[in-house]
Structure 1
C-alpha cells in the first residue's frame, strides 16, 4: 500500500486525467453541489456516535459538518501545498470503451497513487491515534471527497483524459464530456447548483434509499465493506463505476458524443445513473464513517 503523507513536496506522477484537471481548474468531480449531496445523504444515515465523533473532529456542530468540507479537496489540489494530491481523484483505466471496460490496480493506479490507494491511505490515517487532530481532520476531508469522486464514471477512465478531451455542447454552450457528468447532468436532476439544491436532492435520495426505488439495493452496496480490505473494496467500487463508461457514458463511442449537444436524450439517459451513483456513494460514505468511528 502506498503511504502518502498529509502534505508533501515530492513530485508525483500525474495521470492523464489529473493533468487535464490541472489545466482546467473549473472542473470538479460531481461539482460542489454533487459532492454536497453525497455528504448530505451520508449525514442522513450515519450513526449518532459517528455524527458526534466527526462533528468534534471537524470542529463543526452544525448539520453541514460533512457537506461543508465535501468539495474542499478540489481547490486544495490546485494550491502549492496541495498539488501532491491532484492525482488522487482518479484511477485511469486503460480499457477500450465502449467495447471493453475494466479497472486493474497494477496497470491503472500508477506510481504516484490514485483514488483507490488514496482512500485506503487516508482511512488508515484517520485510524492512527498517533496523528494529531489536524492531520486526522485533513484525512477525513480527503475520505469524504474521494468516496464521492469514485462514483463518477469518468473518474475511473483514461480515454481522452477521462473525457476532458472530448468537446461537446450542452444547451448551446461549449464544454467537455467530463464536465457534463460532473455538473450539467447532476444539476439537471437537482434543479440547480446551490447548497439548497444539494439538500433537497439528498432528501429525495434518502427517501428513495429508505423506502423507495433503492430500498432493496442499499444493503448490497455495503455488504462487503471492510476497512481492513479498503483497497480491494474501493477497487470494486471503481470497477462498478467504470462499467457505466461502456453502458451509458460512451455507449455509442466517442463519435456519438463529440461535438454533439448532450442536453436532450443523452442527459435523460444519464440522469438515472447519476442519481444512483450519488445515492450509492452517500450511503457508502455513511457506513464507511461508521466503521471508522467504531474503530477509533
Structure 2
C-alpha cells in the first residue's frame, strides 16, 4: 500500500536525503531562457528593473533561487509553495482539486495567485516585487513538472528506481535525469533555443495556440489550477501508467521507460517557458504577446 502522506509530513526525512528540485537546474534555466525569448522589450526592461539586473540571462540566473531559499532558515516557510499535493489515485484516477489539495500553508497554485497580485500592485515595494518575480519564474516551472502536482509517495520521492545504473527515486529522474538525457549534452540556453524553434515550427504535433487557453489575470486561481491539472494528468497516462510496482521493478528506466515518456518532459518544459513569457507580458503590458 503506497502512501498519500503530504510532502510536509515527511519534510525532515527529505532534508536528510538527496535534495530534488522540479526540473533541476537545467530544466528551470531552460524554462527561463524560453520565456526570455517570448517577452516583449517592455516586459524585458521591466523584469530587469524589478530584478536589478543587466545580465543577458536575467531570468535564467534567478530561476533556481527559490530552491536555494527554501532550504535556508529564513525561507523554510516557502517549501509547500513548490507543489500541490493532489490526493487522487493514480494510475486509475488523476485530478487536482484546489480546495482538497492546497494545504493551509499554501501550494504552487496559491503562490502563483499571490505573487502575481503583488506584481500587479503598483504599491508593492521593490524588495517585495523582487522576491515575487523570482518566485513566479520558479513556480511556473514547478507546476509543469507532473510529480509536483501529486501526493502519492511524496510526489514519487519514495518510489525507488534505477536510472543509468544509479539508484535514485522517481521524482528525481523526472526533475533531472530525463531532462538531461533529453538535452543530450546541450546547455540550458542551447536547449531552450531548440525548444523555442520547435514551438514556432509547431513540431511534435504541438498545438501552441491552445497553450494559452483559459489564461487570464481575471481568474489567476483557475489559470494555475488548470496548469496543475494538465500536468497531473500525465501521472496517470505516463509517469505511473503501469503502477508503482511496475516502475520499481521495471529495471533501469533510462531505456524503454525513457523512450516511452520523454516527450512529456519536452512538452512540459516548452509549455512552462512559453506560458511564463506570456504571463509576464500579461502582467506588465496587458497582452500575452507583449
Q: 1:273 corresponds to which residue? A: 264
Aligned-partner SS, 1:205: helix
Aligned equivalents of 2:205 and 2:94: distance in 1?
A: 28
Q: Evaluate the alpha carbon distance shift between residue 67 and residue 17 of structure 1 in structure 2; reply closer, same or farther with a 3 A threshold.
A: farther
Q: Evaluate the alpha carbon distance shift between residue 216 and residue 175 of structure 1 in structure 2; reply closer, same or farther with a 3 A threshold.
A: closer
> How many residue pairs end up in the alignment?
280
Aligned equivalents of 2:87 and 2:32: distance in 1?
A: 30
Q: Evaluate the alpha carbon distance shift between residue 158 and residue 16 of structure 1 in structure 2; reply closer, same or farther with a 3 A threshold.
A: farther
Aligned-partner SS, 2:248: coil
Please give the residue correspondences for 1:194-273 in structure 2 after superposition, counting only pairs within 5 Å: 197-213=187-203, 217-259=207-249, 260-273=251-264
- The one of 24, 27, 40 equivalent to 1:31 is 24
Whether 1:45 aligns to 2:38 is yes
Cα deviations by residue, 1:232-261 (Å, 9 ceiling, x for unpaired): 111011000000000000010001111532
- The one of 100, 113, 136 equivalent to 2:93 is 100
Whether 1:185 aligns to 2:178 is yes
- The one of 57, 74, 93 equivalent to 1:64 is 57
Q: 1:10 corresponds to which residue? A: none
Q: Give the TM-score, by structure 2 length.
A: 0.92
Whether 1:115 aligns to 2:105 is no
- The one of 152, 162, 173 equivalent to 1:159 is 152
Query: What 5-or-longer segments of structure 1 have no aligned partner?
Result: 1-12
**How far apart are 1:62 and its partner, in Å?**
2.2
Q: Contact 1:171–1:261 (CA<8 Å) still a contact in 2? A: yes
Cα deviations by residue, 1:169-196 (Å, 9 ceiling, x for unpaired): 111111000000000000001124xxx6
Whether 1:175 aligns to 2:175 is no
Q: Contact 1:209–1:215 (CA<8 Å) still a contact in 2? A: no
Query: What 5-or-longer segments of structure 2 have no aligned partner?
Result: 1-5
Q: Evaluate the alpha carbon distance shift between residue 26 and residue 270 of structure 1 in structure 2; reply closer, same or farther with a 3 A threshold.
A: same
Whether 1:282 aligns to 2:273 is yes
Q: 1:130 corresponds to which residue? A: 123
**How far apart are 1:16 and its partner, in Å?**
4.7
Q: Contact 1:16–1:92 (CA<8 Å) still a contact in 2? A: no
Aligned-partner SS, 1:15: helix
Aligned-partner SS, 1:35: helix
**How far apart are 1:213 and its partner, in Å?**
1.1
Q: Contact 2:7–2:155 (CA<8 Å) still a contact in 1? A: no
Aligned-partner SS, 2:37: helix
Aligned-partner SS, 1:252: coil
Q: Evaluate the alpha carbon distance shift between residue 30 and residue 280 of structure 1 in structure 2; reply closer, same or farther with a 3 A threshold.
A: same
**How far apart are 1:130 and its partner, in Å?**
1.7
With 23-32 and 51-60 compared, the bigger mean Cα shift is at: 23-32
With 179-188 and 120-129 compared, the bigger mean Cα shift is at: 120-129
**How far apart are 1:161 and its partner, in Å?**
0.3
Q: Once superposed, which parts of structure 1, at least 4 consecutive aligned residues long, lie more than 2 Å away?
A: 13-26
Cα deviations by residue, 1:138-160 (Å, 9 ceiling, x for unpaired): 00000000000011000000000
Aligned equivalents of 1:35 and 1:164: distance in 2?
A: 19
Aligned equivalents of 1:33 and 1:55: distance in 2?
A: 21
